[in-house]
Structure 1
């Protein structure tokens, strides 16, 4: 039986998977997607090449893990920001602000470019499903407002968030973009609820 490097087998597997994702990210950042091979990842992580397939079934699966790596903490940050607000209008604003804070503090732009150019269609579909699940937080926040056109309100706010994130990913000042988006959201929410 191979020696594990953690207190439990589960912890060992989690640690090993993290090291494989770290290795893949390093290769992608330094050499690009063309250099992401099983052999290169295994060598960088310091394990046998055939061992990496215990953690994922293909390089495309590993690339998907790289693209979605920050997603759980992103969702948790957005959900916590919404939950901290007792007023419905401020929950919607919190959704916008928290998404932009996450975009500014992460490697979202880099991961998005990987997603667009390097993932298989099925992997891109799974990434889209993750984004839809995040959007559910906005749907619930808008429902609490009691506006006449909740679907349209969600669409407009999400379009504002998406556009603002693209601006941040392109190098615009996160603070300026966030201030603009938050103010625009407040105006929209105020108009819709009066």
Structure 2
């Protein structure tokens, strides 16, 4: 009996993902879930008391899995440079996936503060992985650089999903990786900035 209920619950969550991809938040109704899964509408309420409860469980299931995928991609390679590249690529692969986009979009409006806090905690664990790698690269402020790297990923996602360019998400990912590695793998300030400061100091290298 417990296994049967678990299977039905999983089927409802999968149907919810499909409905979100097909029609957005407006498409996610208990009537649509009942039709999609072959259950009576009243039976859906036996598993989820409200749409908010359904979305909360959907996020509680999916967000940790996505974070685990990024972590696994980083664990699958050896060097710090490879780990940074894996982080950027996997984040972009997830962010441009339609199901990921749909769940993230509805989570903005449907989750309560406690559920959002759990998601932030999951993201925090992932950020710590990046901080550790940046520390290996010699950064004295790895948390700050991790935030900048996250900003690069967010910008790349915006470009990849905005429909404004001719490049594929894969090409944008490669460009983002190149920028990330050129910008963070040196373990210090950008060379151009260091050179400019040297020229301003007495005895610095002449221009």
**When the two structures are superposed, what TM-score results if normalisation uses the length of structure 1?**
0.77
Unpaired runs of 5+ residues, structure 2, are 190-207
- Which 10-residue stretch deviates more, 88-97 or 57-66? 57-66
1:110 paired with 2:102, answer yes
Residues 1-194 of structure 1: pairs in structure 2 closer than 5 A? 4=1, 9-10=2-3, 12-29=4-21, 32-34=24-26, 36-67=28-59, 70-116=62-108, 118-122=109-113, 123-171=115-163, 173-192=168-187
State the alpha-carbon separation in 2 of the partners of residues 35 and 175 from structure 1.
Answer: 29
Structure 1 segments unaligned to the other structure (5+ residues): none
Distance 1:29 1:156, change over 3 A: closer
What number of residue pairs does the alignment pair up? 185
Q: 1:193 to 1:63 in 2, by over 3 A?
A: same
Distance 1:149 1:175, change over 3 A: same
Flag the 1:127–1:169 CA change in 2: closer, same or farther, 3 A: farther
Contact 1:70 1:106 survives alignment (8 Å): no
Q: 1:94 to 1:25 in 2, by over 3 A?
A: closer
Which string of whole-angstrom CA distances, capped at 9 and with x for unpartnered residues, describes residues 124-180 of structure 1? 444333333332321232233231111111111111112212222223521221122
Pick closer, same or farther for the CA change 1:160–1:113 going to 2, 3 Å: same
Q: Distance in 2 between matches of 1:38 and 1:78?
A: 32
Larger radius of gyration: 2
Let me know the Cα RMSD of the aligned residues.
Answer: 2.8
Contact 1:24 1:41 (C-alpha < 8 Å) held by counterparts: yes
Residues 108 and 169, structure 1, Cα contact 8 Å, conserved in 2: no
